[in-house]
């Protein structure tokens, strides 16, 4: 049964961890951090399990994508309460993340691609590198989630401070880690935008082809 394939069981575990994480997100930052981080680590495991056991399924792909999008969106909602001055940035990030991935999945479906990670040579070269290089995909996704998770942690605990010669001041450890992840997060947002533009281009191309076919039949 597809429902009980190993990568899908991992997906269910991710959902349970996320429910537990957001249940305690305002009461216990330590348990939230543990639950959320474990869920994201399992995200890197389910794909390997699917390939190793030859259990790649459309259901698993949808489960993985929906879990990713919901987890990030919920975390951004929490961060918007902790950092209200940046609420517009959190809204923008959440919006483009949801829209770009939905549009990309839809365009992949109507193009007949076997997977949303299948990018042909006619599509954007940056997007092709993003989806075909596991190292690039993992690094950007890790940096993106780490940045937001560190922002959450920084609200409760900043850690010991260290002297940073460049800034000529002492900066807490969590803030240093957050700053280091910021470039990866920004580039991931940029790739979401690139993905959205490419998806729109692909969908319009299918529209044009279908309209030409309909016109010829008339």
CB 105 within 8 A of CB 65: yes
Judge whether 170 lies within some domain: yes
Same domain for 119 and 48: no
- What pTM was estimated for this model as a whole? 0.91
Judge whether 89 lies within some domain: no
Judge whether 178 lies within some domain: yes
Judge whether 46 lies within some domain: yes
Q: What positions carry a catalytic annotation?
A: 68
Q: What are phi and psi of 210, to 5 degrees?
A: -65, -40
Q: How far apart are CA 150 and CA 73, in angstroms?
A: 15
Instruction: For 126-161, write each residue's pLDDT tens digit.
Output: 999 999 998 999 999 999 999 999 999 999 999 898
Q: What is the pLDDT of residue 47?
A: 82
Same domain for 67 and 119: no
Q: What are phi and psi of 164, to 5 degrees?
A: -110, 110
**H/E element holding 6?**
helix 6-23
Residue 139: which domain range?
110-218
Share of the chain above pLDDT 90, in %: 69
- Can you read off the two tokens belonging to residue 90? 């959190």
Judge whether 62 lies within some domain: yes
| Total number of domains in the chain | 2
Nearest to 43 by CA among 7, 74, 3, 2: 7
Nearest to 188 by CA among 87, 97, 98, 108: 97
Tell me how long the chain is: 218
- Could you tell me which residues are beta bridge partners of residue 170? 163
Instruction: For 155-182, write each residue's pLDDT tens digit.
Output: 999 989 888 887 778 889 999 999 999 9
Q: How far apart are CA 171 and CA 94, in angstroms?
A: 28
Judge whether 72 lies within some domain: yes
CB 189 within 8 A of CB 96: yes
> For 193, left (φ over 0), alpha (ψ -120 to 50), or beta?
alpha
């Amino acid at each position: 049964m597809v429902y009980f394939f190993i990568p899908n069981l991992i997906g269910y575990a991710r959902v349970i961890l996320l429910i537990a994480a957001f249940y305690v997100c305002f009461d216990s930052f330590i348990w939230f951090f543990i639950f959320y981080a474990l869920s994201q680590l399992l995200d890197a495991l389910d794909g390997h399990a699917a390939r190793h056991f030859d259990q790649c399924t459309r259901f698993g792909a949808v489960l993985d994508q929906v879990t990713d999008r919901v987890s990030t969106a919920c975390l951004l909602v929490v961060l918007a309460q902790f950092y209200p001055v940046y609420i517009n940035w959190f809204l923008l990030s959440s919006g483009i993340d949801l829209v770009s991935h939905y549009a990309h999945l839809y365009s992949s479906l109507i193009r007949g691609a076997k997977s949303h990670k299948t990018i042909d040579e006619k599509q954007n070269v940056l997007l092709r590198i993003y989806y075909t290089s596991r190292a690039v995909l993992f690094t950007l996704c890790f940096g993106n989630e780490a940045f937001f998770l560190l922002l959450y942690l920084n609200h409760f605990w900043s850690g010991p401070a260290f002297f940073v010669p460049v800034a000529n001041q002492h900066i807490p450890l969590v803030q240093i880690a957050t700053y280091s992840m910021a470039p990866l997060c920004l580039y991931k947002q940029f790739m979401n935008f690139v993905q959205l533009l490419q998806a729109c281009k692909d969908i319009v191309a299918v529209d044009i082809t279908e309209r030409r076919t309909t016109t010829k039949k008339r």
